[in-house]
Amino acid sequence: MLIYVELNPKINLENFMSKKVDKSNETLAQRAALSQQDRDVEVAQEMQGTVAGDIWNEIKDKSIEMFALPDQQVNMHAHPIVVEPSKLYLITNSTAVLPSLEAAIGKKYTVELADKYVIVGRAVVPLTRR
């Protein structure tokens, strides 16, 4: 049995150089982020007209101090879910979001951790004595 091996095969450089990189391929992380954004939009539409929807619309674009990164917002680290219309229930990407969220939204809201959710409600304004 004889096997012939060509030592210097001819390479068609035109085909080799003309290959274009397909930039439409998204990474798994990019696809997951887009999917999460779509779910957030659907949930926001479901909550529209409720107290939870109003709270989400007020806090979702507030800036938040997370991991010393610039230009971070609440909607990048917390995602709403529909549980009860009178309070906003959030699922967070990290437990480190809780103190940063409390600092970001201020004294107008109460923030508490319950099981796997962060519950945000409107703070009760105390009656003052004159």
**For the segment 5-31, what is each residue's pLDDT rounded down to a tens digit?**
666 666 666 665 555 555 567 788 888
The dihedral through the CA atoms of 71, 77, 81, 84 has a sign that is negative
pLDDT (tens digit, 9 = 90+) per residue, 31-63?
A: 888 888 889 889 989 999 999 999 999 998 999
Q: Which tokens sit at 88? A: 């906003």
**Is pLDDT of 120 > 90?**
yes
Question: What is the distance, to the nearest Å, from the Cα of residue 119 to the centroid of all Cα atoms in its chain?
Answer: 17
pLDDT (tens digit, 9 = 90+) per residue, 49-104?
A: 999 999 999 998 999 888 888 888 988 889 999 999 999 999 998 888 889 889 98
For the chain, what is the mean pLDDT? 83
**Is pLDDT of 119 > 90?**
yes
The correct answer on CATH 3.30.1360.40 for the domain covering 30-122 is yes
Domain ranges of the chain: 30-122
Helices in the chain by DSSP H: which ranges? 13-18, 28-47, 51-59, 74-77, 97-105
Q: What percent of the chain has pLDDT over 70?
A: 82
